Structure 1
Amino acid sequence: MISVDAFDLKILAALQDDGRLTNQELADVAGLSASQCSRRRMRLEDEKVISGYHADLSSESLGFTLIAFIHITLATHSPDNAKHFRNLVLRVDAVQEAYSLTGDADYLLKVVLRDLKSLSDIVNNVLMPHRSVAHVRSSIVLDRLKETSKLPLKGMR
């Protein structure tokens, strides 16, 4: 963890809202000169606090209207089996997020798909037949109450 000050936090908060801000726009928000702001941004990028920039695409506008969470239980709990499952997950583009868990399931996957047939294809033709997987349980999202990738920077110091 690196040390960040109030100026860094202002820069980070502003970039979370709009990653396309110019150094001058960031400087205005942070109360710094554009050159100071530029140096701080480059340091935050170099230290991987800012890990990248991207465009947020509207899944609904592009026809990806189904979100599902898939709980996976592995067939055996070995490093080799976990590696095989990890490699499988990395190859499936529909998987947006994947987590290793404690509790009843070993993994939780978030998938974004066009329809129920696509979900059926992933469950029945990709996950279930894989040798590392013993059990698959899926839940379809009915309504998204909140979606954000922003970190809670307020109150941090």
Structure 2
Amino acid sequence: MEIDGRDLKILALLQDDCRIPNAELAQRVGMSASACWRRVRALEEAGVIEKYSAQISPAGIGFDFHAIVHVHLTRHDPDRLGEFIRAVENCPDVQECYATTGQADYHLKVMCRDLEAYNHFLEKFLFRLPAVASAQTNLVLRTIKNDPSLAR
């Protein structure tokens, strides 16, 4: 699917407020409501719009502990690697996971209620995975920028 200027405007508006009524979205983009609705559906079907969600304040629901964890694997055995990936995908404490180049094999964004919950995450989850050799934790002291917007 080729993305044009109107698509980018639709995406930017939806990223800003995914609950915007279709009639208002259409008016702001300069399209008819039915044409706008068809365009949004096409963006959804093409996988450009993956899902709609609410952005929640972690502190607002008691998640005051935020860390970036650099994970080193013992080796890249396909079975152990698959087990690691499945476990991380299913762990609610892990918000994001990236396979990267550099010293660490994976980088995890982990959010917990407090230090005790994070210690539980390490001892009962991460260090029990056979593929994990070690992990280094960097505590997030404050967030400078958190903007998931792509369409600008």
| TM-score, length-scaled by structure 1 | 0.92
Amino acid at match of 1:104: Q
Q: Distance in 1 between matches of 2:4 and 2:114?
A: 46
Task: With a CA cutoff of 8 Å and minimum separation of 6, indicate the structure with the bigger relative contact order.
Answer: 2
Question: Aligned-pair distance for 1:78?
Answer: 1.8
Amino acid at match of 2:9: K
Q: Distance in 2 between matches of 1:54 and 1:63?
A: 19
Q: Distance in 2 between matches of 1:36 and 1:91?
A: 39
Structure-1 residue corresponding to 2:59: 60
Query: How many residues matched?
Result: 152
Report runs of 4+ in structure 1 exceeding 2 Å deviation.
none
1:120 and 2:106 are equivalent in the alignment: no
Structure-1 residue corresponding to 2:50: 51
Q: Distance in 1 between matches of 2:77 and 2:2?
A: 38
Q: Distance in 1 between matches of 2:128 and 2:40?
A: 46
Amino acid at match of 1:17: D
Amino acid at match of 2:71: I
1:70 and 2:104 are equivalent in the alignment: no
Instruction: Show structure 2 runs of 5+ residues with no match.
Output: none
Q: Distance in 1 between matches of 2:90 and 2:22?
A: 37
Q: Which moved more, 1:9-18 or 1:126-135?
A: 126-135
For 1:36-115, what aligned pairs fall within 5 Å after superposition?
36-115=35-114
Structure-1 residue corresponding to 2:29: 30
For 1:14-29, what aligned pairs fall within 5 Å after superposition?
14-29=13-28
Amino acid at match of 1:41: V
Amino acid at match of 2:83: H
Question: Aligned-pair distance for 1:67?
Answer: 0.6
Deviations 1:108-140 (A, max 9, x none): 000111101111111122111321110111111
Q: Distance in 2 between matches of 1:46 and 1:129?
A: 39
Structure-2 residue corresponding to 1:135: 134
SS of 1:72 mapped into structure 2 = strand
SS of 2:134 mapped into structure 1 = strand
Question: Aligned-pair distance for 1:59?
Answer: 1.0
Q: Distance in 2 between matches of 1:39 and 1:92?
A: 36
Amino acid at match of 2:50: S
% identical equivalent positions:
41
Deviations 1:88-120 (A, max 9, x none): 212210100001111110000001111011111
Q: Distance in 1 between matches of 2:126 and 2:8?
A: 41
Amino acid at match of 1:20: R
Amino acid at match of 1:105: A
